[in-house]
Amino acid sequence: MHYGRLSPDGVGHADAVLAKLMRLWTSEPNLDPAHLAAVSAPTLIMSGDRGSIPPAHSLLIAASIPGAQLAIVPGAGHGLIAERPELISTLIRDFLAHA
């Protein structure tokens, strides 16, 4: 209902957008963890313990980036920034202070 009201493409385009999102959610990003070894910037990987991304996947990403830090945020899903803003802010400030 809201999509049709807001989209310049109209209601009929909602199915195309949903199909693209489903493909994105189920198959992207498709990165070889070995390629992450080239990342040289300080990196903080964060995900919620109740999110759609399994903690093991976040661990693999963090382990593949040299020196990366991992924060699994308790009680949070994919919207962890909105769900746990104070904790996220503390984690980011601490990370940046030591990066």
- Higher pLDDT among residues 90 and 18, named by residue: 90
Whether the pLDDT of residue 85 is over 80: the answer is yes
How far apart (Å, rounded) are the C-alpha atoms in residues 82 and 74? 13
CA distances (Å), origin 13, targets 4, 9, 63: 8, 6, 40
pLDDT on residue 1: 66
pTM here is 0.74
What tens digit of pLDDT does each residue of 18-33 get? Answer: 888 888 877 777 888 9
pLDDT on residue 11: 81
Give Cβ neighbours of residue 19 (< 8 Å, ≥ 6 apart).
none
In 3D space, the residue among 36, 44, 37 whose CA is nearest the CA of residue 71 turns out to be 44
- Higher pLDDT among residues 70 and 9, named by residue: 70
Whether the pLDDT of residue 39 is over 90: the answer is yes
